Structure 1
């Protein structure tokens, strides 16, 4: 019990340190309208996607911040279900790079590896989709989703800090519960080290990198570098496979592609990364 409390406390401190600053930074960049000024950097990616240059703002918001900001910028563009599938597949793999790569750094996986892996895998995924003779039918959806507007910089900081703190508390509570449940199951039923590896993968698949990594941070001393590399690589490609795809499915994106292709790529790329590492 004492070990579980210590692990939960250390994980909570790490989550607070990672979540809150990045959340506030994203709101500051949006508040000062800086994001549109740097979105041109991502136009080559939209060209590879076969999407209009206007989508680059959504891609920039997704890569640098989160999927909610990306959808807010993409929703008014009137994308087709096929285009939403392309966008959802790429951003499902590459969203929130600064914060999620920093979390992976705690597991010993470098920022350079994480960034290159996720961007190249995201591009590979959309190239596969564009090559395949797919016919994704549905109606073009055009909505207006407003980002939060604030009367002053102070109001924005207060609101951002409140939302970031609420998100951090939510994550801390869930990760703490998972840590305690996992420890109880391991001590009473399984008593196997391998359980940590599989459990963290399933946690990441269904709940996301932050949750899955939260479990791994407690158990990483028991895993060798190859296991950490495999799990980290897998989770960076296939994570949050319920909530994230659902955001794009609302606009007509194909769920089988958004989920299935990411799992297939995660297995293949993770296995390849470990084989390369061992050689």
Structure 2
């Protein structure tokens, strides 16, 4: 498959429309809820969860939307909250591991990993790594955040219309930044997919290659390489368990990370922690499992 600028452009336009549909309305909704202090009536339910992560209670909607939808929805809820660099890093680590659970759990199911295992693994590891991140020194995190991308302090508005108007501007500004980033990533990743080495190895079983591809391109592409081999019974259960466990903790490492770096999150911690715990946990689970 040769690299096609037209195909990548079509994909980026489709993604841009999806981003706009998610970020703009959710950002405005979050801004209204936050400004009128309505979040306190909703987010108290998730107080134990956000407390474990060392995040403000208002971040609960971002976490929940990330868990069940995707990272774009989570960012739209989190952007108006004025989180600092450490809080954005915690959110990035947790949601990088545990996001879009409904869709990605079904992909893992096709690889023979149960839904319960997938969900419990991602939630528990996300909480573990996110909680550890919250204990790290504040000096490890940049104090400089792109202030134009967030609104730490809400001004006093004369009317709801003024609030919505300002939120619309902020949400569109944020959307354009995310769209620019995602478009560049789409072209870059499509180019990688077109490389001969990718084409060659994607046609045969190669655990190490599948993990590498999944870490860079995401669960869908990485696991997709192995699904047909699993369904044919070629792969051992331990191979599937290791690859699936690894990819659920560390996948789409470039795209997921850069989405949060926009707000000042520490990319080295995000990538380092996810790769470290993916390796440790996948190795331990396979070593002590009864799979053969």
Equivalent residue, structure 2, for 1:230? 242
Quote the Cα distance in structure 1 between the aligned partners of 2:202 and 2:72. 36
2:144 to 139, 147, 171: 139
Equivalent residue, structure 2, for 1:205? 215
* Residue segments in structure 2 that go unaligned for 5+ positions in a row: 1-21, 30-38, 152-166, 173-185
Deviates more, 1:240-249 or 1:195-204: 195-204
Quote the Cα distance in structure 1 between the aligned partners of 2:235 and 2:77. 41
* Residue segments in structure 1 that go unaligned for 5+ positions in a row: 1-25, 148-169, 188-192
Q: State whether structure 2 residue 71 is matched by structure 1 residue 71.
A: no
Superposed, 1:1-279 pairs within 5 Å as 41-135=45-139, 136-140=141-145, 141=147, 142-143=150-151, 146=171, 182=198, 184=200, 196-220=206-230, 221-278=233-290
The list of structure 1 runs, each at least 4 consecutive aligned residues, that deviate by more than 4 angstroms after superposition, is 36-41, 177-183
| CA separation of 1:214 and 1:40: change in aligned 2, threshold 3 A | farther
TM-score, scaled relative to structure 1: 0.70
CA offsets 1:213-246 (integer angstroms, 9 cap, x no match): 1112133232100000000000000001100000
1:196–1:219 contact (8 Å) kept in structure 2 = no
| CA separation of 1:112 and 1:180: change in aligned 2, threshold 3 A | farther
Equivalent residue, structure 1, for 2:183? none
Q: CA deviation at 1:178?
A: 6.7
Q: 3-state DSSP class of the match of 2:289? A: helix
Q: 3-state DSSP class of the match of 1:236? A: helix
Quote the Cα distance in structure 1 between the aligned partners of 2:48 and 2:273. 23
Kindly report the root-mean-square deviation, in angstroms, between the aligned alpha carbons of the 2 structures. Answer: 3.9
Aligned positions, number: 230
